[in-house]
Chains A and B, each alone.
Chain A
Amino acid sequence: ETGVTQTPRHLVMGMTNKKSLKCEQHLGHNAMYWYKQSAKKPLELMFVYNFKEQTENNSVPSRFSPECPNSSHLFLHLHTLQPEDSALYLCASSQELGQGADTGELFFGEGSRLTVL
């Protein structure tokens, strides 16, 4: 496999469920990102990890809990979500933040479409 892979592609969950989104990258990158994309809204940066350390939490509600066990994997744990959390969740990676090698070019997965009932 190459690139950035997200699973599942589609998820429907109730407000009391607990689920997780998974992202895996095979690009040898060290920075990974979660974005939220809602209809008719700009792309929202949620979390950023660099070498497994969280460097950015963009005031995301605690019902979203990220986990980055290594530079290749990123999870988004979901619990007690609200209907307004329904969106496309995009994972992305880049070489590494804070170093000259990183140019800001992001490589995106195809997204996980989440529907909260």
Chain B
Amino acid sequence: AQSVTQPDIHITVSEGASLELRCNYSYGATPYLFWYVQSPGQGLQLLLKYFSGDTLVQGIKGFEAEFKRSQSSFNLRKPSVHWSDAAEYFCAVGGRGSYIPTFGRGTSLIVHP
């Protein structure tokens, strides 16, 4: 069965600092990987996705993520965090065909001025 682990429940960073949110997955075939962001009281918005090809993917709002098959990881990064990045971040894994994506528990990002 597929699963996603986001080991950090909360992450606190200062504005302007770099950010890395961790995601580890378990999946029996080639995974499709996603990062979503959720602002308070809102739905989830797709930040970026990985299906195949270049293992470093660029997303919206200056985010990027790197797929590392050997580590079963898909960590999200941003070089300089803005106060507006404070939100909940969800990693998800899916696959081609009939697989419903599985979500991690989410990581809450707090940004200090």
Contacts and interface: CB of A to CB of B under 8 A. Distances in A.
Interface of A: 4, 6, 33, 42-43, 45, 48, 56, 88, 90, 92, 97-100, 102-111, 113
Interface residues on B, range: 20 to 34
A105 B93 CA distance: 9
Nearest to A110: B43
20 contacts: A4-B43, A42-B104, A43-B103, A56-B100, A97-B97, A97-B98, A99-B97, A100-B96, A102-B98, A103-B51, A104-B95, A104-B96, A105-B34, A106-B44, A107-B46, A108-B43, A108-B44, A110-B42, A110-B43, A113-B41
A108 B99 CA distance: 17
Top 6 A-B pairs, shortest CB-CB distance? A104-B94, A108-B43, A104-B101, A98-B98, A108-B44, A110-B43
A4 B95 CA distance: 22
Contact of A42 (B43, B96, B100, B106): B106
B18 interface: no
Interface of B: 32, 34, 36, 41-46, 49, 51, 90, 92-101, 103-106
Given A42-B103, A43-B106, A102 B97 contact: yes
Contacts of B43: 4, 6, 90, 92, 108-111
A106 B93 CA distance: 11
